[in-house]
């Protein structure tokens, strides 16, 4: 078995129930969830719990293969099919024959390439580039993405027919923010594996952060804490690292979800950054929000909450509140 999958929250239990229920079947599975929630881990588990476990699990990173090479990488090519094709290649789909083909980051695949997957998923058919011969293989397809494929389909970026074929069995994976009660358990497991010294009380502060990068981000913060604290974890150290992480997350233009910020001890940092940007843009909310990578409405909501704070008031003259409050 690969790594242990931690989580006892109700929402995560539902995910694991689906993994166990869907694993033995041959039909495609679509794993959906934010970055770092464990989609790849779940794909591996589906394979390991199936009767294909002794056969290969072949990952295909749809966002990493250049568009011009996707078909030949996936389905192989005949010698001489294009310049550089000096010998035959079987391609990744044939390599997965008898096992599982894991289409990772599927939402990043260009729409014209999405059509190439239909015959493989429907009929198990593959055809090498440069060949007329169609071959049948037996693969189970698992796909994963952090893109909202339903929205992408509505916007015309993702094929409806492909989505229908792939979404027979769906596994939504909750974000860490939606299962905060799992944070101490996961953090404990990570720190024990790293051999760090810590107490359960030290870890309580970890629950104040939203982790837009989910478990990967939590793990990175803990590794940093282990290195900086020389294997000894303390609450002040974790607090400091979370503050720094918060600053980084705000600094690099992030989605509104990423910017759903903290209340409590880290709020001061958030305020500091927002005041700084407000100054830079002379109180212009639109520009400030754009620079921070958050929705204007999110910024507005925060300013409303802090309007009594003198640092906010100084940088946002009271005269402006009338119009600011009326803006959506
Ligand atoms: N429930 C879990 N228990 C323990 N470790 C986990 C769990 N979920 C994820 N991890 C760990 O978190 C890290 C990120 O997981 P993974 O690569 O599977 O995420 P992902 O959803 O595929 O992310 P991305 O969308 O960025 O590719 C990995 O190191 C993985 O082992
Ligand atoms: Mg992944």
- 200-226 confidence digits (pLDDT tens): 999 999 998 999 999 999 999 999 999
**Percentage of residues of the chain with pLDDT beyond 90:** 71
- Which one has a higher pLDDT value, 106 or 84? 106
Q: How far is the CA of 144 from the centre of ligand 2 (A)?
A: 7
Q: Whose CA is nearest to atom 13 of ligand 1?
A: 216
Determine if ligand 1 sits within 6 Å of the CB of residue 5: yes
Determine if ligand 1 sits within 6 Å of the CB of residue 9: no
Determine if ligand 1 sits within 6 Å of the CB of residue 36: yes
Ligand nearest to the CA of 220: 1
pLDDT value of position 264: 47
- Among 14, 36, 143, say which to mutate for ligand 1: greatest number of ligand atoms within 8 Å of CB: 36
pLDDT value of position 318: 40
Please answer whether residues 215 and 186 qualify as being in contact, where contact means their C-beta atoms are separated by less than 8 angstroms.
yes
DSSP H/E element including 30:
strand 29-32
pLDDT tens across 127-146, in order? Answer: 999 999 999 999 999 999 99
End-to-end CA separation in angstroms for the chain: 51
Rounded Cα gap, residues 206 and 222, in angstroms: 10
Checking if the pLDDT of 92 tops 80, the result is yes
Rounded Cα gap, residues 28 and 113, in angstroms: 18
Rounded Cα gap, residues 89 and 76, in angstroms: 5
Determine if ligand 1 sits within 6 Å of the CB of residue 176: no
Helices (H), the chain: 10-22, 39-48, 67-75, 92-95, 111-114, 118-123, 149-154, 160-166, 183-194, 200-203, 214-228, 235-251, 267-280, 285-292, 296-305, 310-315, 321-326
Determine if ligand 1 sits within 6 Å of the CB of residue 3: yes
Strands 169-172 and 125-126: unpaired
pLDDT value of position 171: 98
Determine if ligand 1 sits within 6 Å of the CB of residue 62: no
pLDDT tens across 244-261, in order? Answer: 998 877 644 333 443 443
Atom of ligand 1 nearest to the CA of 215: 12
Q: What is the DSSP string of 109-152?
A: S-HHHHGGGHHHHHH-EE--BT----EE---EEEEEESS-HHHH
Determine if ligand 1 sits within 6 Å of the CB of residue 41: yes
What is this structure's pTM? 0.79
Average the pLDDT over 50-65 and give the result: 97
pLDDT band at 269 (very low <50, low <70, confident <90, very high): low
Tell me the three state secondary structure of residue 325. Answer: helix
Q: How far is the CA of 24 from the centre of ligand 2 (A)?
A: 22
Atom of ligand 1 nearest to the CA of 42: 18
**CA neighbours closer than 13 Å in the CB half-sphere of residue 104:** 18
Please answer whether residues 259 and 210 qualify as being in contact, where contact means their C-beta atoms are separated by less than 8 angstroms.
no
Q: How far is the CA of 193 from the centre of ligand 1 (A)?
A: 15
pLDDT tens across 157-167, in order? Answer: 999 999 999 99
pLDDT value of position 164: 96
Rounded Cα gap, residues 29 and 261, in angstroms: 33
Determine if ligand 1 sits within 6 Å of the CB of residue 59: no
Fill in the DSSP letter of residue 327: -
Atom of ligand 1 nearest to the CA of 39: 21
Atom of ligand 1 nearest to the CA of 213: 26
Q: Print the SS3 string covering 73-106.
A: HHHCECCCCCCCCCCCECCHHHHCCCCEEEEECH
Determine if ligand 1 sits within 6 Å of the CB of residue 215: yes
Fill in the DSSP letter of residue 60: E
pLDDT tens across 275-323, in order? Answer: 877 887 777 888 888 777 677 777 877 888 787 777 777 666 543 443 3
pLDDT value of position 250: 63
Q: How far is the CA of 205 from the centre of ligand 1 (A)?
A: 22
Checking if the pLDDT of 327 tops 90, the result is no
Atom of ligand 1 nearest to the CA of 6: 3
Atom of ligand 1 nearest to the CA of 12: 1
């Amino acid at each position: 078995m690969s790594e242990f999958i931690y989580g006892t929250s109700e929402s995560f239990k539902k995910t694991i129930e689906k993994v166990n229920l869907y694993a033995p079947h041959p039909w495609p599975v679509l794993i959906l969830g934010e970055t770092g929630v464990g989609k790849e881990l779940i794909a591996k588990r589906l394979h390991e719990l199936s009767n294909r476990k002794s056969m290969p699990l072949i990952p295909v990173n749809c966002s990493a293969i250049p568009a011009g090479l996707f078909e030949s990488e996936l389905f192989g090519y005949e010698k001489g099919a294009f310049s550089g094709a000096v010998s035959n290649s079987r391609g990744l789909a044939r390599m997965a024959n008898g096992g599982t083909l894991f289409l990772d980051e599927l939402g990043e695949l260009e729409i014209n390439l999405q059509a190439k997957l239909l015959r493989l998923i429907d009929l198990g058919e593959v055809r090498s580039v440069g060949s007329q011969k169609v071959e049948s293989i037996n693969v189970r397809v698992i796909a994963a993405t952090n893109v909202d494929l339903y929205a992408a389909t509505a916007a015309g970026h993702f094929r409806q027919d492909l989505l229908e074929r792939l979404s027979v069995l769906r596994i939504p994976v909750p974000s860490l923010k939606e299962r905060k009660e799992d944070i101490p358990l996961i953090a404990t497991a990570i720190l024990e594996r790293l051999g760090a010294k810590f107490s359960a009380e030290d870890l309580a502060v970890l629950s104040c952060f939203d982790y837009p990068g989910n478990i990967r981000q939590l793990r990175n913060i803990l590794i940093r804490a282990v290195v900086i604290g020389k294997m000894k974890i303390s609450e002040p150290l974790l607090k400091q690292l979370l503050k720094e992480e918060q600053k980084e997350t705000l600094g690099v233009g992030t989605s509104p979800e990423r910017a759903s910020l903290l209340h409590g001890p880290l709020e001061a940092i958030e305020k500091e950054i927002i005041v700084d940007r407000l100054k830079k843009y002379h109180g212009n909310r639109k520009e400030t929000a754009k620079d921070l990578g958050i929705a204007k409405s999110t910024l507005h909501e925060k300013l409303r909450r802090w309007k009594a704070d003198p640092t906010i008031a100084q940088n946002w003259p009271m005269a402006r509140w009338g119009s600011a409050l009326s803006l959506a």
